[in-house]
Amino acid sequence: MRIAVDAMGGDNAPSEIVKGCIVAAKEFSDITLVLYGKEELIRQEGIEEFKNIEIVHTDEKILSEDDPVRSIRRKKEASMVKAAVSVKKGENDALFSAGNTGALLAAGTLLIGRAKGVDRPGLLATFPSLSDGDTVFHMIDVGANADSKPLNINQYATLGSLYSKRVHGKQAPTVGLLNNGTEENKGSMLTKEAYQLLEKNPEINFIGNVEAREILNGAADVIVTDGFTGNAVLKTIEGTAISMMGLLKDSIYNNGMKAKIGGLLLKDSLKNMKDLLDYSKHGGAVLFGLKAPVIKTHGSATEEPVYYTIRQIRDMLQSHVLEELIDYFEHNEEQMP
Amino acid sequence: MRIAVDAMGGDNAPSEIVKGCIVAAKEFSDITLVLYGKEELIRQEGIEEFKNIEIVHTDEKILSEDDPVRSIRRKKEASMVKAAVSVKKGENDALFSAGNTGALLAAGTLLIGRAKGVDRPGLLATFPSLSDGDTVFHMIDVGANADSKPLNINQYATLGSLYSKRVHGKQAPTVGLLNNGTEENKGSMLTKEAYQLLEKNPEINFIGNVEAREILNGAADVIVTDGFTGNAVLKTIEGTAISMMGLLKDSIYNNGMKAKIGGLLLKDSLKNMKDLLDYSKHGGAVLFGLKAPVIKTHGSATEEPVYYTIRQIRDMLQSHVLEELIDYFEHNEEQMP
């Protein structure tokens, strides 16, 4: 398994990216990490001893403020572009980046390409189910497409189910449609039409509408939604969790000695809570529906999230979920309008 | 100021509704509360001594599972319908209910009616800004309409600004468009078109796009969005906050004696935190853009939230925000396509 890594993408590149790769390379002898970026900077992290880390030098990189499509087309020597092209050519099996999200979506779609029959790949994110720390759920699309059609949402359901089954070993993952009420007749024109398609989709275990209030409680294994709403929900979860941790900190530090001691006694328990909320443990967001795995992690990712994301990519490659996806959509393409 | 109260709406009706009304009637001698519902049940709470509480007896009520539009048309004797009709006739100045949200939206639109020039009234909710406990922000539409047009979002901006100015005394409230990125060219077809209208709207202080991650940090005084996304964001904030309070409780109670003592020492501080998060203090959600104030509070509302919502209605009536709204949209109707 060969993973193409954009070593220059993200706020902490290349240092933290390379560090995370080193941890992964140490643990998994069955993967080879091919790092695209400035060789001199990459070497500074001390990779000599690892036979399963390779470097492809490149001087250029895509910046966070670059226009996605234009930069992918013009910056042919950028680390992300060269890494994507290597996957396209079959030299590597998957693409990883912490860089410009829009550019990565464009690189995935334009350079690696959609799986035949998939109308729009969706961005799939994995969250911990807070009602039960051991389980996770997936939401797709969390922002690959700003405008989705009912057909897209139905495909997200098939894609998400496949991911849950193959990568997380869930037998018959439940699929819920994110909606503004649980009754069948609820929703926007988009969700009402999507509901009709989902109900008839033989590949999924559709359980109907799910409200945003319930998703963190494990309302369904796979939540499907259009990319605009999914993006808003993902960012609202992040923002609310960060704000509440901030409030909790204030409650402990700005309320006198009694509260400070209370905070000290609770330190370990609160650390566990923070760990549970830290969904970088579950890897990055997968642009799912392409011919190869393309995974994005947070721009601010450090060594640990980078490691978790590489582990996730290895899980994906080992599960052969992509082969199954490609096979399914090739043979069911005629069903799509 | 006469407020028509649907005493039979909500999970705790009529008891908690009447109790909240009693607290408000005691405090505010300048309001009269007209309670629509079963006289016998209402009288059980002991309202005799209050000259500013009146009862209009009615046997029927709208159930939470009733179809909104059908129930409003057919259940002419229902408490909510009679209360709405009284506002329509000018006998009362505002409508309050904790009942079926869809039915209240229908009652507001069909019985009380839209202000001339307002295409679609929006549901406006008020939240505490968590970065600063003293300030609030408003989001509109949080779910009156499942499908919104750019024109609607632009009107929500005018409506939300008016509310922030008149009811909360904000000088030049900032308006942010909820979007999937902050750059001007970001977004769905809907938000891109809405952006163009907002930029040209002379009534508002538009500051551009705002991401969901930032809204609780006080990114803008008024957040405008379509009703589907707004509903999802509102419910995600609620769900995430509830899940996190649950996690915090678990951290304290299920981690041995040390954590329990820590929790005890932190009790007061955590209570403050919970209070800050409790946005029922800021009243209910206003269906804004009608000829009179129509306010919905949570179905599970008890005495306290009912009281706060009545106080909010009084603030609205005293501010004359509705008169200004009606005046503005009447004179600017020709600008609307």
Among A229, A255, A278, identify where a domain stops: A278
Percentage of the residues of chain A whose pLDDT score is greater than 90: 77
pLDDT bracket for residue A210 (50, 70, 90): very high
Distances (CA, A) of B48 to B16, B35, B42, B127: 17, 13, 10, 36
- Phi/psi at B210 (nearest 5 deg)? -135, 135
For residues A59 and A143, membership in a common domain is answered with no
Are A108 and A84 spatial neighbours (Cβ–Cβ below 8 Å)?
yes
B325 belongs to a structural domain:
no
Minimal CA separation from B124 to chain A, in Å: 16
B16 belongs to a structural domain:
yes
pLDDT in tens, A156-201: 999 999 999 999 999 999 999 999 999 888 899 999 999 999 999 9
B chain contacts of residue A225, beta-carbon cutoff 8 Å: 232
Q: Worst-scoring range by mean pLDDT, A21-35, A287-301, B252-266?
A: B252-266
Listed in sequence order, the residues at least 6 apart from B120 whose beta carbon sits closer than 8 Å to its beta carbon are B114, B141, B144, B145, B148, B152, B155, B289
For residues A88 and A132, membership in a common domain is answered with no
Enumerate the H helices of chain A as residue ranges.
15-27, 39-43, 68-74, 79-88, 101-106, 150-168, 189-200, 227-253, 256-277, 303-319, 321-332
For residues B148 and B266, membership in a common domain is answered with yes
Burial class (CB in 10 A: 0-12, 13-18, 19+), A231: buried
Query: Cβ of B214 and A143 within 8 Å?
Result: no
User: What is the reported pLDDT for B337?
Assistant: 47
d(CA B279, CA B47): 28
For residues A239 and A304, membership in a common domain is answered with no
Interface test with A, best of B186, B228, B298 (most A CBs within 10 A): B228
Query: Cβ of B255 and A272 within 8 Å?
Result: yes
- For B216, the domain range is 120-283
Among chain B residues, CA nearest to A215: B239
Distances (CA, A) of A209 to A91, A144, B295: 42, 22, 27
Among chain B residues, CA nearest to A187: B146
Pick from A93, A110, A237, A132: which is nearest to A178 by CA? A237
User: What is the reported pLDDT for A333?
Assistant: 60
Could you list the mean pLDDT of each consecutive 10-residue stretch along chain B, which spans 337 residues? 97 96 97 97 92 96 92 96 98 97 95 95 92 85 96 98 96 97 92 97 97 94 98 94 87 85 84 77 92 94 95 96 93 61
- Nearest CB among A240, A261, A265 relative to B240 is that of A240
CA angle at B62 for the pair B57 and B66, rounded to the nearest 5°:
165
A284 belongs to a structural domain:
no
Query: Cβ of B266 and A251 within 8 Å?
Result: yes
Q: Worst-scoring range by mean pLDDT, A111-115, A213-217, B132-136, B279-283?
A: B132-136
For residues A257 and A242, membership in a common domain is answered with yes
For residues B146 and B273, membership in a common domain is answered with yes
Query: Cβ of B240 and A235 within 8 Å?
Result: no
Minimal CA separation from B96 to chain A, in Å: 22
pLDDT bracket for residue A302 (50, 70, 90): very high
A34 belongs to a structural domain:
yes
- Phi/psi at B58 (nearest 5 deg)? -155, 140
pLDDT bracket for residue A337 (50, 70, 90): very low
DSSP, collapsed to helix, strand or coil, labels residue B123 as strand
d(CA A65, CA A106): 14
End-to-end Cα separation, chain A, in angstroms: 36
Among chain B residues, CA nearest to A145: B188
Minimal CA separation from B214 to chain A, in Å: 6
For residues A92 and A135, membership in a common domain is answered with no
B328 belongs to a structural domain:
no
Listed in sequence order, the residues at least 6 apart from B245 whose beta carbon sits closer than 8 Å to its beta carbon are B274, B277
Q: Which two tokens stand for residue B225?
A: 């969005």
For residues A184 and A303, membership in a common domain is answered with no
- Nearest CB among A227, A228, A241 relative to B240 is that of A241
For residues B99 and B132, membership in a common domain is answered with no
Interface test with A, best of B235, B271, B274, B278 (most A CBs within 10 A): B235
- Nearest CB among A147, A178, A180 relative to B188 is that of A147
For chain A, what is the mean pLDDT? 93
Greater pLDDT, B189 or A300: B189
- Nearest CB among A180, A188, A216 relative to B240 is that of A216
Residue A238, Cβ neighbours under 10 Å: how many? 17
For residues B157 and B270, membership in a common domain is answered with yes
- Nearest CB among A143, A232, A239 relative to B216 is that of A239
Q: Which two tokens stand for residue A185?
A: 């007749």
For residues A59 and A147, membership in a common domain is answered with no
A chain contacts of residue B215, beta-carbon cutoff 8 Å: 236, 239
pLDDT in tens, A253-285: 888 888 888 888 888 888 877 777 777 788 899
Query: Cβ of A252 and B266 within 8 Å?
Result: yes
Query: Cβ of A130 and B228 within 8 Å?
Result: no
The total of structural domains in chain A comes to 2
Among chain A residues, CA nearest to B68: A186
- Phi/psi at A13 (nearest 5 deg)? -85, 150
B27 belongs to a structural domain:
yes
User: What is the reported pLDDT for A335?
Assistant: 52
For residues A323 and A304, membership in a common domain is answered with yes
Are A98 and A6 spatial neighbours (Cβ–Cβ below 8 Å)?
yes
| Residue type, position A171, single letter | Q
Distances (CA, A) of B45 to A230, B9, B31, B62, B300: 46, 16, 19, 22, 18
B chain contacts of residue A66, beta-carbon cutoff 8 Å: none
Among A278, A301, A329, identify where a domain stops: A278
Distances (CA, A) of A179 to A211, A212, B125: 5, 7, 19
B326 belongs to a structural domain:
no
Listed in sequence order, the residues at least 6 apart from A295 whose beta carbon sits closer than 8 Å to its beta carbon are A94, A95, A96, A97, A283, A284, A285, A286, A287, A309, A312, A313, A316
Minimal CA separation from B335 to chain A, in Å: 27
CATH number at residue B241: 3.40.718.10
- Nearest CB among A191, A212, A248 relative to B235 is that of A212
